[in-house]
Structures are given as C-alpha cells and as structure tokens.
C-alpha cells in the first residue's frame, strides 16, 4: 500500500455512431465527447467508457464499477414509454436504448450510484415507467449550439444538497423533457418555465438525473457528489 486514496471508477455510457472520422479513417465508432471524462476526472474519479453491449451483460459491467453515468445523446424511442412517434422526434437509437436501460436497471437493483445526463435523465424516467414530452421549445438556442438557462433546486433534495445555490445557470441543449414522473421519482430542480430539470430517488442510494449538460460547464459539484457516493459504496463493499 502506498497510502494514496483509491479513486472510484465511474463508467460513462457512449454514443454509437455509424461513421466517425479521425486521421485517414472513417469507421463505425463508440465514442464520447471529452467533456464527460474530464468532468469525472476533475471531480476526483477515474473515467471508463462503457460502449453498448448485450443487455444481458449489464449486471456484470455494473458490478465492476463504483458508479454509472448515462450520457446524453439521441431521443429515446417513444415506444419505450408507450407513445406514438412525434414528427419532431429524432431517429431511433435502438441499441443504445436497450443497453442503457439495462445499465440503469442493474444500477438500481444493486444500489450503484447513478447519474443520468439529458437523455440519461429521460431514460431513467422511462425505466421507472414515466413518460416524456417529445418536443419542447426554448431549451436549445440553435442546432449544435449549447445555450444557458437558470435552474432552481427543490429544497430538501439530494440535488439541493449538492448544489445549494438558490439558482444556477447551466449549459443546456435539448428539445424533450420529463412529462409524467416514473415510480418513486421526485422532481429536484425546475427551469423558470416549470420544466423538470432534475429528478431523483429519495433514500440512501444516490440516483439522480439532470436535464442539462454539466460536462459542458465548469461546475463540478454535482459530479463530486456522485464521486463521493461512489467512494462510500466501494468502501462498504470492501468491508464485506
């Protein structure tokens, strides 16, 4: 032992793209914007990319991680929450939906700390039986451009404990949002227009989703809260 503190391993789900280009190559790729691992690292964790796999392996993957982050990305397939497809809903990401829902279910079943970001928050809601608003105006500035708006925490929630400011400006880019909350989820932050901006499960297990993109900002407090929860979970499992 060298006396150094073990940094928890935080798995971050990835995009799965038919084509990505680097150097002379254009190939299918599992990838992740660098903001995600940089945020994990800045908050004191080790980042591991978790690309889509057979959903049957999700429990084995989660067992090797101290926490899970489900990243942003394409719209959730409306059939996952029993809705017809709106004309403004993006094309399906069937493989990602299946894999990330399995990751969420495994994290919930094992009490592994879980953070959903944008699409990840929406998937968490869907995994627990909730529904989504398929189009929402005013939460994206322009195609491919992150905007900023203010979110207000709900007092007494885990999110308010992690970020206790009366209000915070956050980086945002989305056109869908939570409609009916999933089982046992509570809203823990709202936008000025009333949109649910964060959800969480009350209780000892750290489970939270945010509609914005913390990886595009400089505020590490939310990720630090996840990393601290992951450290405690690892310490508890090491005792067993």
Q: Looking at the annotation, which residues are catalytic?
A: 118, 213, 215
Residue ranges in the chain assigned as alpha helix (H) = 35-42, 58-63, 94-110, 119-127, 158-162, 221-239
With contact defined as beta carbons under 8 Å apart, do 113 and 207 qualify? yes
Which residues lie across from 27 on neighbouring strands?
Answer: 20
Residues 6 or more apart whose Cβ sits within 8 Å of residue 229: 67, 113, 206
Q: What distances in angstroms separate CA 177 from CA 43, 85, 191, 212, 233, one per listed residue?
A: 27, 15, 11, 10, 30
Instruction: Determine the Cα–Cα distance for residues 170 and 3; give it in Å rounded to an integer.
Output: 37
Classify burial at 11, counting beta carbons within 10 Å of its beta carbon; exposed 0-12, middle 13-18, buried 19 or more: buried
């Amino acid at each position: 032992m060298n006396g150094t503190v073990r940094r928890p391993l935080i798995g971050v789900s990835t995009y799965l793209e038919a084509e990505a280009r680097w150097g002379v190559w254009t190939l299918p790729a599992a990838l992740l914007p660098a903001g995600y691992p940089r945020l994990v690292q800045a908050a004191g964790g080790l980042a591991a990319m978790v690309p889509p796999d057979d959903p049957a392996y999700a429990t084995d993957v989660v067992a090797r991680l101290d926490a899970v982050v489900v990243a942003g990305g394409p719209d959730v397939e409306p059939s996952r929450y029993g809705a017809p497809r709106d004309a403004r809903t993006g094309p399906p990401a069937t493989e990602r939906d299946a894999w990330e829902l399995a990751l969420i279910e495994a994290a919930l079943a094992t009490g592994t700390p879980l953070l959903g970001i944008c699409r990840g928050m929406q998937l968490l809601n869907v995994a627990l039986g909730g529904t989504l608003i398929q189009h929402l105006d005013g939460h994206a500035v322009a195609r491919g451009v992150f905007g900023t708006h203010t979110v207000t925490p709900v007092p007494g929630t885990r999110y308010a404990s992690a970020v206790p400011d009366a209000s915070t400006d956050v980086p945002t880019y989305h056109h869908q949002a939570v409609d009916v909350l999933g089982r046992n989820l509570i809203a823990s932050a709202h936008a000025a227009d009333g949109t649910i901006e964060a959800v969480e499960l009350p209780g000892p297990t750290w489970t939270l989703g945010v509609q914005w993109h913390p990886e595009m900002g400089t505020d590490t407090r939310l990720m630090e809260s996840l990393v601290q929860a992951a450290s405690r979970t690892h310490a508890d499992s090491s005792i067993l």
